[in-house]
């Protein structure tokens, strides 16, 4: 094992080498880092906006932690089952759902049932909506349902809001002189990602952007032009609905896949007051060292795939790393993953000039750890048949090496002196 570690670290950059050796000596991160990761996990639950018309479902999500805006192109969703809507809710696990107050009646009924909300006209004491237990996952019971006026979901206003997204950050003074050229390039770039012929998706995206203008999650965009508020958006991406197995709520409950519960407290704020996971299949499987890993595992349990090839690839990956001959490799990767933070969250803080000293430290350590993981996977070429290792080997890391060298020169104690 020691020979493997030495030969691996000799090929790494200085920053990755230091982190690799520190990880072996320390055996992972501390309690302070784990608590910060938990905060990032809570912050990264997206806000989801959905719009249904003419048998077509459109949707958009925004993650406040990473400042990523995603748009789902129109997909057919048959009434009255609306299976695509249910799958989308399970896949995204939103903290809030934004809809129009004039949405389709059957669509609204299914949506409220999926979120465990009372239907229209069913009110409890004090005029509050009653909650039900019709969801497949108790995590959806704390989702906030926001109904906005129908005018917020207009197609023309939605298109203008999407085209007005300020995606390019950090322009120099010379670039600011070519504002018209920059606007034209942004127009072409957005059109290459978004299909403006998808009416439902544009309406959903416009409604979500309108909601974010009034409720800027994660802080407002300070670089936005005057009169254009809203949240910081660093990346515009496409949203896809995966091919999943339809599982009814009774099956999820009977199998004890999840057992989440909200902790009673006088205040709703603070990481100590979030949802806790009890004894369940997820808690038995969860050995993740990072918040991103735990979130991805929860998504795998909540959304079982129907593609046999995907299932076999996952089994091959588990068998590869669980083999006795690769136990030390798995332990080393396990330690390195513990030092990888939520990089999109850190990049958002850096781009919005809100990064603290520890954020820069976490970013430098994450970049070096990612490079160490890449070098380890590259050395095990015999594992090319395992999909996850092949994906890591295929990643272009030249820019990551450049960032690591820059961070080493700028943030290292030696250069500071």
Do 20 and 64 share a structural domain? no
CA 296 to chain centre: 9
Token reading at 365: 């350590």
pLDDT for the residue numbered 392: 85
Judge if 76 and 174 occupy the same domain. yes
Residues 193 and 326 in one domain: no
DSSP letter string, 8-52: HHHTS-HHHHHHHHHHHHH-S--HHHHHHHHHHHHHTPPEEEEEE
Backbone torsions φ then ψ of 50, nearest 5 degrees:
-130, 145
Token pair recorded at residue 410: 């700028």
Both 52 and 122 in one domain: the answer is yes
The two tokens of residue 93 are 């696990």
Residue 298 maps to a domain: no
Residue 308 CA, chain-centre distance (Å), reads: 25
Answer yes or no: is 270 within a domain: no
Residue carrying the six token digits 């959304």: 303
Residue 278, number of CB atoms within 10 A of its CB: 12
Same domain, 147 and 60: yes
Please tell me whether residues 144 and 9 are part of one structural domain: no
Give the residue from 199, 216, 238 where a domain finishes.
Answer: 238
Low-confidence ranges of the chain (pLDDT < 70): 1-43, 118-142, 168-177, 218-230, 246, 248-249, 261-275, 381-384, 411-417
CATH number of the domain at 106, please.
Answer: 3.30.420.110
With CA atoms as reference, report the closest residue to 65 among 99, 42, 95, 81: 42
69 and 115 share a domain? yes
Q: Is-contact 63 30, C-beta < 8 A?
A: no
- Residue pair 246/83 in contact (Cβ under 8 Å)? The answer is yes
Together in a domain, 220 and 124: yes
103 in a domain, yes or no? yes
Q: Please tell me the predicted confidence (pLDDT) of residue 223.
A: 55
Do 216 and 101 lie in one domain? The reply is yes
Per-residue pLDDT, 123: 44
The answer as to whether 23 is a domain residue is yes
Partnered with residue 262 across adjacent β-strands are 275
Please state the domain count of the chain: 2
Structural domain ending residue among the three candidates 197, 217, 238: 238
Residues 9 and 67 in one domain: no
d(CA 135, CA 248): 9
95 and 13 housed in the same domain: no
- Per the prediction, the chain carries an average pLDDT of 76
Decide: helix, strand or coil at residue 64.
coil
* Closest residue by Cα to residue 268 from 35, 40, 9, 42: 42
Q: What is the pLDDT of residue 107?
A: 92
Same domain, 321 and 198: no
**54: alpha, beta or left? (left if phi > 0; alpha if psi -120 to 50):** left
The last residue of a domain, from among 178, 207, 238: 238
Q: Write out the residue range of the structural domain in which residue 360 sits.
A: 2-28+309-416
Coil/strand/helix, residue 262: strand
Contact 19, 372 (CB under 8 A): yes
Structure confidence at residue 200 (pLDDT): 93
Q: How far apart are CA 407 and CA 412, in angstroms?
A: 7
Instruction: Give the CA diameter of the chain.
Output: 70
- Where helices occur in 215-280 by DSSP H, the ranges are 249-255
* pLDDT in the model for residue 202: 95
Which residue bears the tokens 């990602």? 193
């Amino acid at each position: 094992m020691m020979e493997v570690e030495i030969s691996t670290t000799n090929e790494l950059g200085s920053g990755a080498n230091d982190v690799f050796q520190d990880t072996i000596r320390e055996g992972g991160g501390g309690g302070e880092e784990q608590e910060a990761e938990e905060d990032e996990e809570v912050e990264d639950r997206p806000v989801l906006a959905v719009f249904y018309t003419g048998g077509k479902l459109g949707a958009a999500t925004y993650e406040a932690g990473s400042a990523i805006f995603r748009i789902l192109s129109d997909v057919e969703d048959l009434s009255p089952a609306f299976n695509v809507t249910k799958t989308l809710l399970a896949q995204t696990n939103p903290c809030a759902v934004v809809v129009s107050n004039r949405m389709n009646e059957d669509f609204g009924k299914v949506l409220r049932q999926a979120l465990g909300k009372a239907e229209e006209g069913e009110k409890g004491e004090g005029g509050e909506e009653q909650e039900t237990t019709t969801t497949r996952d108790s995590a959806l019971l704390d989702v906030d349902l926001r109904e906005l006026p129908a005018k917020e979901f207009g197609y023309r206003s939605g298109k203008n809001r999407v085209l007005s997204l300020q995606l390019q950050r950090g322009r120099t003074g010379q670039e600011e002189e070519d504002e018209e050229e920059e606007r034209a390039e942004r127009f072409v770039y957005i059109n290459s990602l978004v299909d403006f012929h998808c009416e439902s998706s544009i309406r959903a995206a416009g409604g979500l952007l309108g909601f974010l203008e009034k409720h800027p999650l994660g802080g407002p965009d300070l670089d936005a032009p005057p009169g254009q508020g809203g949240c910081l958006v660093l990346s515009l991406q496409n949203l896809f609905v995966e091919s999943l197995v339809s599982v009814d709520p009774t099956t999820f409950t009977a199998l004890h896949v999840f057992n989440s519960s909200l902790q009673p407290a006088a205040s709703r704020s603070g990481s100590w007051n979030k949802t806790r996971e009890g004894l369940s299949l997820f808690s038995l499987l969860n050995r993740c060292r990072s918040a991103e890993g735990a979130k991805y595992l929860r998504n795998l349990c909540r959304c079982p795939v129907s593609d046999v090839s995907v299932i076999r690839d996952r089994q091959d990956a588990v068998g590869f790393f669980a083999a006795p001959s690769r136990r030390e490799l798995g332990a080393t990767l396990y330690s390195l993953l513990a030092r990888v933070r939520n990089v999109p969250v850190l990049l958002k803080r850096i781009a919005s000039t809100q990064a603290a000293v520890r954020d820069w430290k976490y970013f430098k350590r994450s970049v070096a750890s990612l490079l160490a993981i890449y070098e380890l996977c590259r050395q095990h070429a015999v594992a090319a048949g395992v999909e996850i290792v092949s994906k890591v080997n295929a990643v272009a890391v030249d820019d990551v090496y450049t960032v690591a060298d820059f961070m080493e020169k700028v943030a290292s104690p030696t250069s500071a002196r």
